[in-house]
Structure 1
Amino acid sequence: MNSEGIEFGVMLSTFGDHATPEAFRRVAQTAEREGFDAVWAGDHVTFPADIPDEYPFSRSGESPFHVSQDAYDVFDVLSHLAGVTDEIQLGTNTCIVPYRHPVDLVREALTVEALSGGRFDFGVAPGWLRTEFEVLDVPFEERGSRTDEFLRLFERAREEGQLAFDGPHHSFQETGFYPTPGEGRPKVWIGGRSGAAFRRVGEFGDGWTIFWDHPEDVASARERMGRAWDDYDRTGTPEVAVVRAVHVGSDVDRDTLLVGEASKVIEDVEAYVEAGTTRIVLDFYTTDVDEQVEQVERFGREVASEF
């Protein structure tokens, strides 16, 4: 983290026709070359034909996903990038934990942590796409309790290495979780806006991650996280990451945060810092990979360099 207390990351587009291995490498390597701190990627196992208008990150509820889209496995993408980058953090934002078997998911996370040399950021959330749960034969109504169960297991597995477990959804005899990570690794980022999400930050998380929130929303969320942090007698303070589409330049006609000439974008970043944001993760208004790479370069040289 730089002297201003803010880090910068880039969100990979891992769904759709523009999502290709070459694009993943180009964006990640550009971000590392420009001094960014992290590259994160989203997670879905499958896109059903029936996707209800319940997407939590658009006003209409309409999602950007479609049944015929390419959808790359997030852990495979990050493992691939671990071999073509050297220092940048690689993370899930966010991994939908309830519809995976928790033992297998612990293995996936610890494998990326090991392959990347300790550079994995583990963003987790309960999920929102009800029909995806139906395809995977996991009760949607259990997603909260399954998320808590996994987080309890993961906290023990990364500290103990081997253990027996008796939870509300999964129980098993003593088994191994190796390779074990370094102390406190990987970091766990909790996604979501619910009271349960803030409670999970206090109980299990190192930080909170959200899409599109404004600085005033971040400030309000920090107050709620602070109370949860105190409830669990945590030391220090939680980190806060905001993922938001960014465009440096005057060629996009949008009167909104993090869009405009570099001086205006810098002012917006400063507002996020003042609200308590510790990492801004760039998303894009374009699916064109050349344009995404250009935006990463412009942001790195004209905005991030000022912090």
Structure 2
Amino acid sequence: MVNQSDVEFGVMLSATSNDYGIADADLPGVFRETARTLENNDFDVVVAGDHIAYPDEIPTDYEFSKSGEPPFTSETSVYEVFQVLSHLAAVTDDLALGTNVVAAPYRHPITLTKHVLTLESLSNGRADLGVAPGWLSTEFDALGVPFDERGSRTDEFLEVFSRACSEGKFAYDGRHVSFDEIGFYPAPDRDIPVWIGGHSGATFRRVAEYGTGWSTLWDSPDEVESARERIMNAWTDYNRSGDPEIAVLRPVNVGGDSNHLLSGSPDDIIEDVEAYVDAGVTRIIVDFFTTDVDEQHEQIEAVGDDVIPSF
């Protein structure tokens, strides 16, 4: 049995940006009910993705669907991630509240830092920041942010955020933004976890330079183990102590086809989680094959009853 301290469990609140066929007026209740269900079933964190506005033109190379077509259109309701997480802070007590992941270039670094620090204060220290450069080029166009600058803008945000948390106030002169000395308050009382998303060499460098750990989607234990070797090389280059955290998001299906990872009997899923832990994973984020909210909650309860107690 794996030690409980080695792995956390979370859920992706994907209804914040996917078309679930639920009336907009009912979605806030779904968010609240899901968060309470997670807390009642011993989950550690809820995370949500980040989009601001879906354009009509969406590239058909979405890697997480067989057709390449994303599960949204320009008419899909999309909720601002920090407002959703702040809303959930008021109806939960212990659940960590995370972005998985926020597209750093979408917002000015001062604005994005303020969002995170506000969530941290409103939740009494439960903010959990996942960051990546973003991928939807036409959304960048709509926001007036050059797509080819997304990497350098992500780096600039991470530098500003790190300094804001450690210094409180400072002046900054960067490639994309510059400002005279300003204060970043409320100040956090702890190191806010920072998860870096992506697979590039720059991603693994960011993990080592700024991150608590790495967040990925769908990777197998073997793929995680290979990536962890690259992360550790960068971790050593930056003289980091300890070990990086690693989060993997995958759909779960308790009672489903055991030919897929995290699908099958509870024992099958426990065995898969153990393989992930052996590869270096410290957090499993559960997504779903179904968009039916009741069925999702049944899966949450099944994982809480039959999987989490083994860890």
- Same structural fold, with TM-score higher than 0.5 when normalized by the shorter chain: yes
**Structure 2: where are the runs of 5+ without partners?**
none
Alpha-carbon distance in structure 1 between the residues aligned to 2:82 and 2:205: 26
Where does residue 264 of structure 1 map in the other structure? Answer: 268
Could you say what secondary structure the match of 1:68 adopts?
coil
Aligned AA (1:204): Y
Tell me the amino acid that sits aligned with residue 208 of structure 1.
W
State TM-score, norm by structure 1.
Answer: 0.96
Question: 3-state SS of the aligned residue for 1:246?
Answer: strand
Unpaired runs of 5+ in structure 1?
none
Please give the per-residue CA displacement for 1:60-107, whole angstroms capped at 9, x wherever unaligned.
533222111110000000000000000010000000011211111110
Corresponding position: 1:16 with 2:22: no
Q: CA deviation at 1:3?
A: 2.8
**Partners of 1:77 and 1:265 in 2: CA distance:** 30
Residue 90 of structure 2: aligned partner = 83
Matched, 1:43 2:53: no
SS of equivalent residue, structure 1 residue 9: strand
Out of 138-147 and 18-27, give the one that drifted further: 18-27
* Amino acid aligned to 1:72: Y
1:213 aligns with one of 219, 222, 226: 219
- Equivalent in 281, 294, 304 of residue 277 of structure 1: 281
Q: Distance in 1 between matches of 2:229 and 2:305?
A: 33
Q: Which residue of 1 aligns with 2:251?
A: 245
Q: For residue 228 of structure 1, what is the amino acid of its counterpart?
A: A
Moved over 4 A (4+): none
Q: Distance in 1 between matches of 2:254 and 2:283?
A: 18
- Answer whether contact 1:98 1:143 (CA < 8 A) is retained: yes
Task: For 1:9 and 1:222, locate their aligned partners in 2 and report how far apart those are by CA, in whole Å.
Answer: 21
Partner SS state of residue 234, structure 2? helix
| Cα pair distance change 1:227/1:135, threshold 3 Å | same
Taking the aligned partners of 2:66 and 2:213, their CA distance within structure 1 comes to: 25
Amino acid at match of 1:291: E
| Identity over aligned pairs, percent | 58
Once the two structures are superposed, residues 104-157 of structure 1 have per-residue CA deviations (whole angstroms, 9 ceiling, x without a partner) of 111001000100100010000000000000000100000000000000000000
Contact 2:19 2:71 survives alignment (8 Å)? no
Aligned pair count reads 304
RMSD (Å) for aligned C-alpha atoms: 1.4
Q: Give the drift of 1:58.
A: 4.2
> How far apart in 1 are the matches of 2:240 and 2:258?
40
SS at match of 1:22: helix
